[in-house]
Structure 1
């Protein structure tokens, strides 16, 4: 609908051009009929500009025709139609290609030369002076073309920049989605074998209970084994529920991958950063062991990512502090380093695949939050809060 209506800039342009044409007839001493003809042609030329954005070529044709008519009918020259024709030429250069622009320039220049020949004394364009005047006319006529082509180039550059911005946004969205999918796959890999381990423990405990009843006849041992069996089964059900909540890709589980315990992830991360020269102090609240495996595994991955960032940011000679404590209703994890101490070599600790983007996704899947940023003392802090659910 917007393209079919006359927009106010074009309407304002046409009214201003018409008023300028009328203004040239106010202080003249020529007869009234001449002033009326001049005013009429000026108003028509100005109002024609109202449609210049939608139809630049027809408006240019109308303006050049008014130039030819005005030079024969009025003694005031072709000021208003000439100005309006130049504006229309600029719009043609802005909206059209080089071939159409060249044709419009030739039309405008021809009409301009004709009006000069008709409205000037004979011989005005002959000889050396005439050639100079003709070159001046051509240069002046080329000004609207140059302006229009320049604005067209700016528009094209803006369109290209906008398209690149959209492509960059789409790539960022794809990378974020890939990070989310990869983290879901990582969670599945971490939990798959751990849950299988607990199921195997249930089978062993059930066998022990059966043996106690059939072979030894000791009911107290069987009752204790059944109690352990019930506790382990409840823990497994809780782990399976959380696994189903975070797992979205059935193909994420890779057969044959080794089981990785959270404590093993933390110990390996400590060993690697200490070997690289980064001192590590770890404080783990014993109550954190009550958290489910999915929470403890995520906490271990956060610690691994935090130590990786500390090694990259601070380097050898710095001190990194790891704190894990239970803060009901969740688990608080913090990795803090003291900042760079001396020039750093390349880090030797492998990152957790997708960095902070993946860690935020992993923590968010569990309903937690993760923050990271520099400290006032020049160090780096990574914090995560993970909710702990009670085993039902």
Structure 2
């Protein structure tokens, strides 16, 4: 296995340690001058070995500690060099900081146990107070650097974990922001479609009638309806632009339509659908005096509005019925049901994109309600749109 190039700090540390040890040896400063088992120069061998191990203190800390332990033990049989002992303490520190997690956990515990064992053995053998110094030196050389390395490593890991949590929090915040933007764009698309589609559908139907029927009276009536819907559509667009520019809660609350405006809505539908043979009837069976949450009232109004728009586009001549009901005691569901004649239609027809049904379903599901649309009645002669919305503020917030 090829080891990576030593870090430049480790190279400088190895060179400085070796030079410091050579200076101490040259000055005759020994850590154990009373040991003459080997010549004085023998103390340079452990010094050189441990100085070389500084080069792999990051890349191979396990090997550095193992060989370094043998080297510092061998140094005790020579005159000794203080630099050799200091290098060993750095190797022990580096093993905890740069080693694997298992080594980082074990070394402080094992060196602590070794320090205790050496202290007990020295006191039992020598039986003098000075024997405690052997345990203290052992702790300084092995346990202290291991404990220091463990403390630094824990701080680094805590800092990394905190940074990761901050990055995850920022990522979640960005995801929430993106989802909020998407939801707001979808809400604006639904609002724009519901506000303008009714008027544009009436314009398309009556302009087609004016072009296809060669009658001055019919053309004049169609142009009148077209002008009225153009003016109303322009007013709705200005209101929406005002909402986007002004974020004040009072302005928004004042601009939100309510079910009290259904009479006016059906009045416009009667005007727009008269040429197609359509009649519009409203049955409001709700108990009086029971207010609705603003989101529910807006959704019910928009669903009725879009259903009337679809009736103008696709319904055959007949009666379009809008029915509002509410469950007992005010805690039930507000039901909006629109029945329009269904069948093959002749004459002017406005094109549809299918976005209206999607928008009504989205409005209903966002409030936790149920939505359905499709043929109903005898032989499927009625197209029924039905939305059941929660009538309680608590249900809406959930």
Q: Provide the TM-score with structure 2 as the length reference.
A: 0.50
Coordinate RMSD, CA, aligned: 4.4
What is the match of residue 86 of structure 2? 83
Among residues 47, 62, 79, which one is paired with 2:52 in the alignment?
47
What is the match of residue 71 of structure 1? 76
Task: Please state how far the C-alpha of 1:137 moved relative to its aligned partner.
Answer: 2.9
Is contact 1:89-1:145 (8 Å) kept? Answer: yes
Using the alignment, how far apart are the partners of 1:195 and 1:310 within structure 2? 18
SS of match in other structure, 1:129: coil
Asked whether 1:98 is paired with 2:98, we answer: no
What is the match of residue 171 of structure 1? 172
Using the alignment, how far apart are the partners of 1:105 and 1:78 within structure 2? 24
Task: Please state how far the C-alpha of 1:46 moved relative to its aligned partner.
Answer: 1.2
Alpha carbons of 1:48 and 1:124: their partners in 2 closer, same or farther (altered >3 Å)?
farther
Asked whether 1:26 is paired with 2:26, we answer: yes
SS of match in other structure, 1:5: coil
- 1:57-206 mapped onto 2 (5 Å cutoff): 57-72=62-77, 74-75=78-79, 77-94=80-97, 95=99, 96-103=103-110, 126-140=126-140, 141-197=142-198, 198-206=200-208
SS of match in other structure, 2:27: coil
SS of match in other structure, 1:4: coil
Alpha carbons of 1:47 and 1:107: their partners in 2 closer, same or farther (altered >3 Å)?
farther
Instruction: Give the gaps of 5 or more residues in structure 1.
Output: 118-122, 236-259, 265-292, 312-347, 351-392
Is contact 2:196-2:233 (8 Å) kept? Answer: no
What is the match of residue 244 of structure 2? 301
Using the alignment, how far apart are the partners of 2:175 and 2:181 within structure 1? 10
Alpha carbons of 1:10 and 1:208: their partners in 2 closer, same or farther (altered >3 Å)?
same
Deviations 1:286-326 (A, max 9, x none): xxxxxxx3x862441331x2447999xxxxxxxxxxxxxxx
Using the alignment, how far apart are the partners of 1:309 and 1:214 within structure 2? 45
What is the match of residue 383 of structure 2? none
Using the alignment, how far apart are the partners of 1:192 and 1:3 within structure 2? 67
Alpha carbons of 1:22 and 1:215: their partners in 2 closer, same or farther (altered >3 Å)?
same
Deviations 1:80-129 (A, max 9, x none): 2221211111122333342344335566888x88xx98xxxxx9962240
Task: Please state how far the C-alpha of 1:16 moved relative to its aligned partner.
Answer: 1.5
Using the alignment, how far apart are the partners of 1:228 and 1:309 within structure 2? 29
Is contact 1:109-1:138 (8 Å) kept? Answer: no
Using the alignment, how far apart are the partners of 2:162 and 2:94 within structure 1? 23
Is contact 2:43-2:75 (8 Å) kept? Answer: yes
Alpha carbons of 1:135 and 1:107: their partners in 2 closer, same or farther (altered >3 Å)?
closer
Using the alignment, how far apart are the partners of 1:46 and 1:175 within structure 2? 55
Using the alignment, how far apart are the partners of 1:49 and 1:100 within structure 2? 18
Alpha carbons of 1:195 and 1:93: their partners in 2 closer, same or farther (altered >3 Å)?
same
SS of match in other structure, 2:215: helix
Alpha carbons of 1:84 and 1:124: their partners in 2 closer, same or farther (altered >3 Å)?
farther
Deviations 1:164-185 (A, max 9, x none): 0121011111111111111210
Using the alignment, how far apart are the partners of 1:125 and 1:349 within structure 2? 89
Q: How many aligned residue pairs are there?
A: 241
Is contact 2:92-2:146 (8 Å) kept? Answer: yes
Using the alignment, how far apart are the partners of 1:83 and 1:51 within structure 2? 16
